[in-house]
A and B are shown apart, each in its own frame.
Chain A
Amino acid sequence: MTVALTEMPVPVQVSAMMATPPKHRRRGRFTMWIAIAWLAFITISAIGANWLPYIKHSCSQYPNPKQCSTHVIGDLRKIEKPPAWAWFAHPEKNIGNGPERTGIFGTDRNGYDLFSRAMFGARNSLLIGFLSITFGLLFGTFFGMVSGYYRGWADRVIEVMTNILLAFPALLLAIFIVTFSDNPNSTSSANDTRSIGPIILALSILAIPPLTRLVRANTIMYSQREFVIAARSIGAPNKRILFREILPNIVPTLLSFALTGLALLLVAEGALAALGLSVEAPLPTWGRMISSGQERLRQGIWWPALMPAIVMFLTILCINLLGDILAERFNTREAIA
């Protein structure tokens, strides 16, 4: 990972494994279960955002089903109300009647309930992150195993491709891929009229090279192990060796790496959104909610940006935590630089 998608935290390359296991577990089961609980809550909310009772929405108000997430509490004039618990905060102007503060997260400029929007945002953000890492894993595993097992010209071609992709500044790469799919008639690239497809494509392509390297290194390592040699000597076909002997051994490493990767891709989506390269306008993602809330910060309206930021932070924290625990358990922290 020469140049990480810049806005993400610097890639952590833990090279040295601890020689002996730590005296006591760094993070206990308790933390792990809290992380799982939070992720479960977010996932369930994301999947069921349309019908779960605690997420307010009013699809009937809008002809376009894409705008389902946009629930307006009361009438439109009661805009930008702080969260109900924020006793210290006041709305900039309180026109109309109704409470001064409302909702768990408050409402935004358009009167949309931010909590519901954050849950609908979870749907898009998680979908983007999950699909990208899945594509990254599929292609990364395929290329990595082919290149590590067969070696030869396939290895060389894949190696060169990986190196070029890694040498390319990651953010530029993402910007290029996302803007490729733009409407040729528009002159500005920062127009928000994309479906989630190009975003997923861009993030998948960012994920493939590091995963390819990881898989390749592991495949080479396992190809020389005695059980693979044994399988080959009794005449097992290559396909069987790849899928039955090598793949199962790589999966644990991949799994812990996939979680870290998922966290990185969620962050990357937000980075793209911060540059105005987000999904189609009414669709919320966490990144887009944060970046559109930022304009209001200067007026002291903190909740539209900070509340989704907290949700996003907690989610990334929990994913990283689980990834770390998995990595510790499988003892697989590879440096892939």
Chain B
Amino acid sequence: MRYFVNRLIQLLIVIFAVTFLTSIALRFLPGGSDVVVALKTGPGTTPEQAKAVKHELGLDRSLIGQYIQWMKDFLTGNWGYTFQTNQSIKSAIAAALPISIYIMIYAQILSLLFAVPVAIWSAYRQGGKFDRIGTTTAFGLLSAPNYIVAPVLMAAFCVQRKWIPYPSVYAGIDDPVAHFKAFVLPVVTVAIPLYAGYMRLLRADMIATLQSDFITTARASGVGTRSILFKHALRPSLFSIVTSAAVNIGALVGGVVIVEQFFLLNGMGRLTVESIFRREYPTVQYCVVVLALIYVVVNFVIDIAYAWIDPRVRAGRALG
């Protein structure tokens, strides 16, 4: 219990630090709030008008004052409107979040679906032909940044074979075909390095597990291969892959900007970056805090998952 309280305090501090630093960094971007005025009203604004606009948007207050105001707005749920388009910030984020979450979930499922079996078989037949092909492929895939993968996929499936429209047109899950067409290429792009990372992690851990004594014992007492691999060896080997997958949940939601940008999907990453470019201070901050919250919640859940995967963690915590 104390452990969780400590974690909670730590995470709150992290969220506070990140949002506060974001707000400071935003204000110090070149041009400051003048850029907001310039973008909102266009050229030829008189100083009085600029002042009025700034006052209306609350940009004439002190930095700390603005941050406290933002904190109040955030906690009361009264998130306000974007500067330029006068759109509700809540609805902008509500529109962007599902896209990012779809990409994250599909990419995780896709990469794990391939990585786990390949890693298990590679580890079981370490040094064999399958293992060598598998590790070499993973190594190659890891060296391909997604701004290289995305154009290749796009050139192949949208231009050479016109199977999938470009740019992706967002469609909800209620239209499965359009949904598939919108997400397949971005998801594959995101999943490729994920697959390679997961496969290497699980393979290394699996090899280590397969060399431990309890596996030898199990094998000696005549347990079948399938049972050894899936029942005995898999669970203790899951530790790093689960850690990595968990970290990626948070990282992927806001962090696939390049892919979103390339396929013109309006996810969280794109919303954040575009908002920085357009100096939408509050929008950026809400995006950052939403992403940080996702990160925090996931971290919490994963701590519980550890205890389930590896009873030793539970024991260790009880002792400590």
Contact = CB atoms under 8 A, between A and B. Distances in A.
A170 B311 CA distance: 34
A23 B248 CA distance: 33
Nearest to B166: A298
B200 A306 contact: no
Contacts of A335: 240
A150 B248 CA distance: 34
Contact of B159 (A24, A263, A270, A298): A298
Contacts of A20: 211
B204 A16 contact: yes
Contacts of B17: 164, 167
B277 A188 contact: yes
B243 A337 contact: yes
Contact of A187 (B38, B193, B255, B291): B38
Contact of A320 (B38, B139, B151): B139
Given A4-B251, A168-B18, A12 B151 contact: no
B257 A6 contact: yes
Contacts of A167: 14, 17-18, 292
Provide the main secondary structure of the chain B interface: helix
B147 A12 contact: no
Interface string A266-307: 010011001100000000000100110110011010100110
Interface string B252-295: 10111111011000000100110011000000000010011001
Interface string B129-166: 00010010001101111111001101100111000001
Contact of A172 (B35, B139, B194, B276): B276
Nearest to A264: B145
Interface string B86-98: 0000000000000
Contacts of B35: 187
Interface stretch (A52-60, A65-73, A98-106, A173-181): A173-181
Interface string B4-26: 00000000001001100110011
A289 to B, nearest CB: 11
A186 B182 CA distance: 35
Nearest to A275: B273
B145 A270 contact: yes
Contacts of A287: 147
Contact of B39 (A10, A187, A275): A187
A63 interface: no
- Identify which of B18, B200, B243, B247 gathers the most chain A CB atoms within 10 Å of its CB: B247
A169 B151 contact: no
A271 B261 CA distance: 11
A3 B255 contact: yes
A15 B201 CA distance: 8
Contact of A270 (B21, B147, B200, B250): B147
A125 B254 CA distance: 26
A205 interface: no
Contacts of B194: 10
A157 interface: no
Interface in A1-56: 2-4, 6-20, 22-24, 26
Interface of B: 14, 17-18, 21-22, 25-26, 28-32, 35, 38-39, 126-127, 132, 135, 139-140, 142-148, 151-152, 154-155, 158-160, 166, 193-194, 196-197, 200-201, 204-205, 207-208, 211, 239-240, 243-244, 247-248, 250-252, 254-259, 261-262, 269, 272-273, 276-277, 288, 291-292, 295
Given A6-B254, A163-B14, A297-B155, 6 more contacts: A6-B255, A16-B207, A169-B288, A187-B35, A274-B147, A316-B145
